[in-house]
Chain A
């Protein structure tokens, strides 16, 4: 427990986690507000799905925060002090996850409900929160961002350098998983198994007016299955990262 307390002090005692979390929330809420406010009335009221449009972009920012929480320790050498205090590296790194992952979840919760809240204020008629699919869009952001933070921590532990880890995460989440869908014949089938495509499927898939984008016709799972698959990949990545961290020199 003392390791978790230490990680809490670490995360809260520099400014960048506060800033990145704020940026993530502002991007999601701000963009949702802009889109709903500028929605062309000729197209009818803004659909409910708009409140989930920007969750991925906010998640990427929170993932950068999570990755930097690890890579900055390698950058400045404090990871060695951490391992001096807690020589069980699995325990030390899981303590960091025990702080960073809930923070990512809470930030996701704020962003999810905040985005829905401003959309509801601007367009109350189309934004009533009732169906399972609608709740997933709003509350699911917290779960997806928390799992995303696990993946970002694992990548941070494996790569150890801020620039490398951040680039890898951005390219992976924003480019690779989308580009694979462009491969003829097999692309869509492969995409159905990719972790962040599954995260989006959890948030927006499963019918209703919050139906997923057309490229996700070949999803391997339903919404909740997608979340389990996404979380499973995160756990496997973290297990690999912990094994590597235990083997190599700090």
Chain B
């Protein structure tokens, strides 16, 4: 359980995190969603006591990070897979971490086995591909067998197989009853991975709740209807108080209605239907609609670099 209360962080004139309050509960994967520069990494660093908040606090299983005697046994985190000395072997990297949190050196080999890096345990971490570095980082997070896990953009730059592996791993960890908090700016990825969503933009909380509700509530699901008598159906639907917009397919999109309602209206008017489909808005649409001016998306799919200390 991670509890964030009134968390605020200012870098000179920029308010990176603005009075953020939310809880991350155990047993499910909670996504931490927001565009680059929204304050996700800064928040995660404050959870780990790496950055000092200007206001507010974070409690993990009821205690501040620094008040845990062996914090790596409570919180395992992967904030940046590049945080390794390139000339140190993967095994030695995990061994010093194990020593630092009072675990035997043999634990390093156990977690290397777990992430499938046993074969390259003696190789220098600097020679690792991004996918291998990511696995090494995850091995570090799992080292202390912690009940709380936190990953910052873990699938960034990974190939599809790597993405699947991490998704399955995170869901498995949550199923074991752990708290799993994972950030991403990839909305589609979060839709597949996270059960709960904490959405932020420009350092402020935008929404917090089940992923499905976020998509549904935000995008307002619509019904796609096609009919040879579409010209007769549209007035009937409008008369019932629903909005209608033309669809490129030649049919119509009815907003705010269910398939049942549209179907009954068509039946009452004796109109033949060729298609009647519930259309879910994409997470992207939902995000854009809810966040409105709170995001700093730039055109062309390029994102501003994340603010770092």
Contacts and interface: CB of A to CB of B under 8 A. Distances in A.
Contacts of B75: 84
Give the contact-size bracket for chain A.
20 to 34
B66 interface: yes
A88 B66 contact: yes
Interface residues of B, number: 34
Contacts, number: 86
* Leading 8 A-B pairs by shortest Cβ distance: A77-B83, A6-B100, A85-B100, A13-B92, A9-B96, A87-B66, A6-B99, A5-B99
B87 A16 contact: yes
Given A16-B87, A83-B50, A2 B79 contact: no
Contacts of A84: 48, 50, 71-72, 75, 77
B97 interface: yes
Interface string B62-100: 000110100110010101101111111100110111011
Interface of B: 45, 48-52, 65-66, 68, 71-72, 75, 77, 79-80, 82-89, 92-93, 95-97, 99-102, 140, 309
B111 to A, nearest CB: 14
Interface of A: 2-3, 5-10, 13-16, 72-73, 76-78, 80-88, 247-250
29 contacts: A2-B100, A2-B102, A3-B100, A5-B100, A8-B99, A10-B88, A13-B93, A13-B95, A14-B88, A16-B87, A72-B85, A77-B84, A78-B83, A78-B84, A80-B45, A80-B48, A80-B50, A80-B79, A80-B80, A80-B83, A83-B48, A83-B50, A85-B72, A85-B97, A86-B100, A87-B66, A248-B52, A249-B45, A249-B51
A2 B77 CA distance: 20
B177 to A, nearest CB: 23
Residue from A16, A72, A80 having most chain B Cβ neighbours under 10 A: A80
Contacts of A8: 99
B83 A76 contact: yes
A250 B83 contact: no
A11 to B, nearest CB: 9
Given A6-B97, A6-B100, A14 B79 contact: no
B225 to A, nearest CB: 55
B71 A250 contact: no
A10 to B, nearest CB: 5
Nearest to B81: A77
A77 B85 CA distance: 8
A7 B97 CA distance: 9
Nearest to A12: B92
A70 to B, nearest CB: 13
B254 to A, nearest CB: 52
Contacts of B96: 6-7, 9-10, 13
